[in-house]
Amino acid sequence: LTLQPAMVERVEVMRGSGSVLYGSRALSGVVNFITRKGGTEPLQATVEGGYDSATDGYNAFASLYGNVEGFEYRLAKTRSDHDDRSTPAGSMENTSYDNDGIYVYAGYGFAAQRLEYTYEEYKSSSKVYVEDEVKNTYPLTDFYIESPKRDRDKHGLYYRWDLDNDWLQSFSANAYRQQNDRHFYTYTETVWYSRDINNYNNLDTDGALMQMDFQRLGNHRLIAGVQYLYDQIDQTRHVDTVSWTPPIAASGVEVIHDKADTETWALFLLDQWYINDQFSLTAGLRQYYVEGELDETDRESLEPGKLDSDDKLIGSLGLVWAASETVRLRANVSQGYVYPSLTQLATGAYAGSSYVNPDASLDAETSLNYELGLRLQSRYLTLDTAAFYTRSDDYINHLPCTPRDDCPGSRDRLYQNVGKSEGYGVELYLVYGNMPANLEPYTSLTWMKRKIEYQAFSTWDTAVPDISGRLGLRWQGTLLAVPNLWADLYLRGESSSDLKEPGTTRDVIEDKAGWGTINLSGGVEFGRDNRYQFTLDLLNLTDKKYIASTENLYGAERSVAMKLSLNW
């Protein structure tokens, strides 16, 4: 996520399918990161500073913002610098990182219209941890990864007009231009040769969205729009090989240049039908049109030209029943569609000592998702739970090349539509607030099973833990005459996980056994209008040694993280 947490004002979670309005990855909901905007006074300021003992690192944030006769503005600067992660198993080498960012916002409302401009600059550099098992797996004898540059610039415009006429409620449009500049370095040493690879990657993205919200037509409310996305990648790889076995690999320097682009149009229409006071039905369609092209390449195994174009119509259907003032039940079914990336279609990439070849004939990944949910919101109890089932086809992964693939290298790999995937589970969020001493127990849990069906075999061992989540007890109140205090004691963890793939079976139960950490967070608000906040996180209190299912390195040791925020 190339977004500074300090820039985020709040996070909104929208349950139910959003694949029609927000794209096919929003099958079960949408998470919106709302960035900070203007203020309420002509001149305001915020300064924040944080420290993390696990990385001996700091986070800093400063912002000037305000509102001058309706003109809102904000200027912000962030900076983070963290060393290698300290864990109960020792220091994890090559895990340090640093980043900094600039954020500019300007907005003005006139009558029923509003215009906003944003500029974001994000620069980061990081090293990448590689476990010894990977470094020393034959034929590898050493392997090093670093991302010395991962920068992003983004300009965005937003416009909204609340017409509120006879047929149109509002019209909104936004457009952005984003440029990513990345440098990725790998060093590979095998029993046959050593190889330095410097990958310089420029990805430019233009995006635009236009949406119309119509007035209610009887019991129907229509939303219609069009979305445009253009991606262009221009990358150069410098491959420097020193070989002591010329028959396998030749010594020398190879420069590889590729340029490719994809263009995507999407039309969408959503109908919200309020059947009566209890039932509402939401139905939508989204039509995709995608075209791609490999503009330039000097690799012998590739040839410039048009990539496979595609078009796909997906839909979603959702029903909500307001059983009472406190209970809502929902049922959703939605389709998903993900077109292959430029890396998979046109340019390829290196994975360790092997080059992964692109495949211009890849099919898009498609999916079908079902969900049943319940939300109960009473005076003391909040319950939100959902059961889901997802079936995906044409799952894309890379596998070793076979003779019929006609790959240029004997040890190459190839992006392929390897098979299908299937997943189901239950999500639960529960909070109870009617406890003595302002105590509030809560839990957020997920039970999930996932299967991948390869051509050679199928397996449920897909690195997904059966159970994961958080269980805690919160408190808020006054202690020793100090008001506005809060505390949160919680257990975070997950069950064990396995991973099996074609060509290799890797059992990770020993390293990724079920784990749980005990943590305590607390904070206080003070000063005039509670303008100052201090938070303290005591993490992994038992100094548990563990590896999360989403990572390849040990979690942080018993550590302290703190943050002080000052507002004027």
Confidence of residue 423 (pLDDT cuts 50, 70, 90): very high
Residue 30 has pLDDT above 80, yes or no: no
Taking the C-alpha atoms of residue 563 and residue 537, their distance in angstroms, rounded to an integer, is 9
More confident residue, 374 or 395: 374
More confident residue, 473 or 505: 473
Residue 2 has pLDDT above 60, yes or no: no
Residue 26 has pLDDT above 60, yes or no: no
pLDDT at 23: 66
CA distances from 157 to 4, 5, 62, 232, 322 (A): 20, 21, 24, 21, 38
More confident residue, 248 or 449: 449
Question: What's the pLDDT tens digit per position in 162-198?
Answer: 988 888 999 999 999 999 999 989 888 889 999 898 9
Residue 482 has pLDDT above 80, yes or no: yes
Q: Please report, for the chain, the start and end positions of each structural domain, with discontinuous segments joined by +.
A: 435-443+452-568
Mean pLDDT over each residue of the chain, to the nearest integer:
88
Question: What's the pLDDT tens digit per position in 384-407?
Answer: 999 999 999 998 888 778 777 777
pLDDT at 443: 96
Three-state SS string across 36-75, please?
Answer: CCCCCCCCEEEEEEEEECCCCEEEEEEEEEEEECCEEEEE
pLDDT at 505: 44
Contact 448, 424 (CB under 8 A): yes
* Phi–psi pair at 27, nearest 5 degrees: -65, -40
pLDDT at 506: 45
* Nearest partner of 285 among 226, 339, 215, 216, judged by Cα: 226
Residue 346 has pLDDT above 90, yes or no: no
pLDDT at 401: 80
DSSP of 212-271: EEEPPBTTEEEEEEEEEEEEEEEEEEEEEEEES-TTT---EEEEEEEEEEEEEEEEEEEE
Confidence of residue 507 (pLDDT cuts 50, 70, 90): very low
pLDDT at 229: 95
Percent of the chain with pLDDT over 90: 56
Residue 509 has pLDDT above 70, yes or no: no
* Nearest partner of 3 among 82, 147, 128, 99, judged by Cα: 99
CB atoms within 10 A of CB 494: 21
CA distances from 24 to 6, 288, 366 (A): 28, 10, 9
Q: What is the pTM of this model?
A: 0.84
Question: What's the pLDDT tens digit per position in 249-303?
Answer: 889 998 989 899 999 999 999 999 999 999 999 999 999 999 988 888 887 767 7
Residue 380 has pLDDT above 70, yes or no: yes
Contact 533, 525 (CB under 8 A): yes
For residues 513-539, give the mean pLDDT.
Answer: 93
pLDDT at 13: 67
Percent of the chain with pLDDT over 70: 92
- Beta strand spans in 69-112 (E): 71-82, 85-87, 90-92, 97-110
Contact 54, 72 (CB under 8 A): no
Taking the C-alpha atoms of residue 189 and residue 28, their distance in angstroms, rounded to an integer, is 43
Confidence of residue 508 (pLDDT cuts 50, 70, 90): very low
